[in-house]
Amino acid sequence: MNTRHQMKKTVYLHVGSPKTGTTSLQEFLARNTASLAEQGFFVPPHNIGDSGHHELPLSLIKDICDSWYDGWPKISRRSEVVWGELIERINKSECPNVIISSEMFHDIPNHPYSQKIGERIKGSLYEYDVRTIAYIRPVDKYINSIYRQDLENRNSFTSLTKSAQYYKEQRLVHLYPSAWLDFYSSLFGKESLTVRKYDRSEFRNGSIIFDFIDTLGIQYPPEKEPDCLLQENLSIQEDHIDIRRALNTEGTNRQSINTQISNVFTRISDILNEKAPSADLLSEISSEILNEHAIIKERYGVDLGSNINLESTKKQNRDFSEYLQLGLTGLVINQIGEVDRKIDDLARTTFNTLIMPHVRKATPAIIYPAGAHAAWLMQNTILPSANIVACVDRNPGKHDKTRFNAPIITPDDISRYAPGVVFIASPRFGEEILESLLKTLPATTEIVFLS
């Protein structure tokens, strides 16, 4: 028997943490798949709206813990399908290296079934040499930053110290990142884990993207290096934190406008009368942070510093009337958001009515194009239940790949798949697409606008 030894492919699993330039890094990876492949690094396509591979950890968390995170796309596919598709793509790629990136891997140790999730990750990637990459901020800076993000994305009214107290009570990796690092160290071995301190002043050109590609040994010619300089997400300034809290509203369509206005008055009174955090509580949290820094330095050789600066929501020189103006402004913004949501609900109902006949008949269907609006339809309508045989994209770089579990084809290939219906999913170019389809498709093929 003639056997040949094949070297294992290397999978670089970038596991976060959040607030370390992950969005910029993931956008860079998504935009540069072709040039990275030329250097032997395969970046698998992602199947939900964001640039990262978030469907991988989110599908596991959903299946095993039955959890969903506000602000993240809801996952419709089971983890077996999601991870099976990933393995198939890796094995088909000719690249010896693979890059997977999602900061949602960071949150897995927070779950009661984290060990089971870890076993599934390890079992899925057993064929490969897995190298885990983690970026970590000093814990106080991370807590300050994640708190601001919660104000921005989750309409939180909680003070920073109360949030930190909750992290402590729940033993979350937000305050205890050593648990997160230990988790991946135990999965793939401590020698496989690269821990980098997130400090832009120490990165080449001040960019995590340069630091990441340098860590992996990826070379970029000087003329292409500007592609690595993407704008990282901005945070709320400390002096503006209380303004953001006053602007946040929680109104739902079940509440009357009078009830919402009353809530604004009550919340502003609470903010103005809020007591400063006790010195004991701040000392306790600071002590926990210093202990975590010491553990990480001892175990992973990364010095996160000893100067702790846990911000508090500073009281500004504003009176009740100024806060009231902010709160009522937030209420108006919220009502606009309610109108947008109702428009979305109406669109969903309309699209489902158009799609349903083809779902019932299992009509061979093609989606054209398979971009951001198509992804929204797949997340928010019954389109995933349709018999999708192909997706159309004019970008040659996407051909011979898949989208929504269907091959991506050129417009010229549509007739070869003999679709019974073509769903046009482009608000901007719908008329242009319709005109081209009318010239090339037989009259028996139905064309349906989903935009």
Highest mean pLDDT among 91-105, 140-154, 389-403: 91-105
- What's at 175, amino acid-wise? L
Task: Select the more confidently predicted residue: 20 or 403.
Answer: 20
How far apart are the C-alpha atoms of 201 and 77, rounded to whole Å? 41
With a cut of 50, say whether residue 251 has pLDDT above it: no
Q: Give the mean pLDDT of the chain.
A: 82
Q: What is the mean pLDDT of residues 200-228?
A: 81
* 1: confidence class by pLDDT, cuts 50, 70, 90: very low
pLDDT tens, position by position, 150-186: 766 655 667 788 888 989 999 999 999 999 999 999 9
Q: Which amino acid is at 253?
A: N
The pLDDT score that the predictor gives to residue 292 is: 95
Cβ-contact 313, 244 below 8 angstroms: no
What is the rounded average pLDDT of the residues 206-221? Answer: 88
| Greater pLDDT, 384 or 99 | 99
71 within 8 A of 80, measured Cβ to Cβ: no
Q: How far, in Å, CA of 100 to CA of 280, rounded? A: 42
Rounded distance between C-alpha atoms, residue 285 and residue 283, angstroms: 6
Three state DSSP letters for 259-318:
HHHHHHHHHHHHHHHCCCCCHHHHHHHHHHHHHHHHHHHHHHCCCCCCCCCCCCCCCCCC
Asked whether the beta carbons of 450 and 426 are under 8 A apart, the reply is no
Query: How large is the average pLDDT for residues 102-120?
Result: 93
Across 107-134, average pLDDT: 95
Q: How confident is the model at residue 367 (pLDDT cuts 50, 70, 90)?
A: very high
Long-range contacts of 166-173 (CB under 8 A, 24+ apart): 167/143, 168/284, 168/285, 168/288, 170/110, 172/110, 173/17, 173/106, 173/107, 173/109, 173/110
pLDDT tier at 191, thresholds 50, 70, 90? very high
pLDDT of residue 380: 83
pLDDT above 50 for 342: yes
Are 228 and 207 spatial neighbours (Cβ–Cβ below 8 Å)?
A: yes
Q: What is the pTM of this model?
A: 0.63
Phi and psi based region of residue 279 (left: phi greater than 0; alpha: psi -120 to 50; beta: remaining): alpha
106-115 b/e (C-beta count within 10 Å ≥ 16 → b): bbbbbeebbe
pLDDT at position 442 over 80:
yes
Q: What is the mean pLDDT of residues 276-300?
A: 90
